[in-house]
Copies of this chain bind each other. A is one copy, B any other.
Amino acid sequence: MSWEDNVRKVVPYVPGEQPNKSNMIKLNTNECPYPPAPGVHQAVRDFDIDKLRLYPSTSAEPLADALANYYQVNKNQLFIGVGSDDVLAIAFLTFFNSDKPMLFPDITYSFYDVWAELYRMPYKMIPLDADFKIQKEDYMVPNGGVILANPNAPTGEQANLADIEEIIRANQDVVVIVDEAYVDFGGESALPLINKYENLLVVQTFSKSRAMAGLRVGYAFGNEKLIQYMNDVKFSFNSYTMNTPALQFAVAAVEDEAYFKETTKKMIATRERSKTELKKLGFMFTDSKSNFIFATHPKYKATALQDMLREKNIYVRHFTKKRIDNYLRISIGTDAEMDILFDTLREYMK
């Protein structure tokens, strides 16, 4: 017998590549093209380095206070983690322990099946319709839990909140997670529903709209009991997940609402202009409410376009998955970056 016999063997999630070139245009991992809120500079200057010798706050202060205040929830309705991936990894481990399959769409965030496989959970991927939309009835069957990204990734498609609510209502015997990583770009949050349904967890992140992918901060809202269960599991995994820099720097981002509104507004405007430009170039795409556009072209293969762009130092994301393997997911950059993208595509298609 070998020690390898007892190893949990898994096929890991593959994140988008993180090239580090000086002149690259990086439109492949849905990062914010604008820097974090100006107040973060002050937070870094004020940072008490000597205090790093001490363990961080177990209750994620001062960030927990800032988030509870901003979203007008109680702190015991709030869970904070190392990016929304950490929040979701803990949520899966906490809530999805049924013999029945958990449900999510076939085309969605590609980490969901990775978590299910990691924990050896039964799951069923439900095909989106031909327009990449969910059909709410599909989620009203016996199951061990539901997770829906809204807006969805990588499609950017926003489901109707009334449909989401019907799914939550129909599944009160399991936990329903609404993953709102992209909600700040024009989506409608399920957050107000946490007071109505105790089986609902709403997950958000600092990685996109708050321009802090590098700080690893995600959070979730739910009723107290649900959050307590998650915290029990979190404190059975790692008591101190949030380091002191994350807890302090993130506060400045939450507190500067004007900057947050301004940058998300700019990104939405650039996204809408990008839709016009991509349409002119012959692309077809869903009506994204996120900070990316999921586009296909009837004449050009997605992989050929990706290769061509990469040669020009422009990175976009391609997924090899069936149904979407002729699509590119293009993150919304600055207007200047998008113009270079459009010029490059125009030149190529000439």
Contact = CB atoms under 8 A, between A and B. Distances in A.
Interface of A: 1-16, 18, 26, 29, 31-36, 40-41, 44, 47, 49-58, 82-83, 85-86, 89, 93-98, 114-115, 117-118, 144-145, 172-175, 198-199, 207, 211-216, 225-226, 229, 231-246, 249
Given A3-B198, A212-B53, A15 B94 contact: no
A12 B56 contact: no
Nearest to A144: B6
Contacts of A234: 12
Given A26-B54, A214-B56, A231-B12, A243 B243 contact: yes
Given A1-B173, A35-B50, A213-B53, A6 B236 contact: no
B40 A52 contact: yes
Nearest 10 CB-CB pairs, A to B? Answer: A12-B235, A214-B244, A245-B245, A35-B50, A53-B211, A216-B243, A15-B239, A52-B214, A118-B236, A1-B173
A241 B36 contact: no
Contacts of A216: 56, 240-243
A223 B229 CA distance: 36
Contacts of A236: 10-13, 114-115, 117-118
A36 B18 contact: no
Copies of this chain, whole number: 2
A65 B186 CA distance: 41
Given A55-B18, A239-B85, A233 B118 contact: yes
A7 B95 contact: yes
A118 B233 CA distance: 7
Contacts of A244: 214-215
Nearest to A206: B52
A13 B213 contact: no
Contact of A3 (B41, B115, B172): B172
A52 B29 contact: no
A10 B56 contact: no
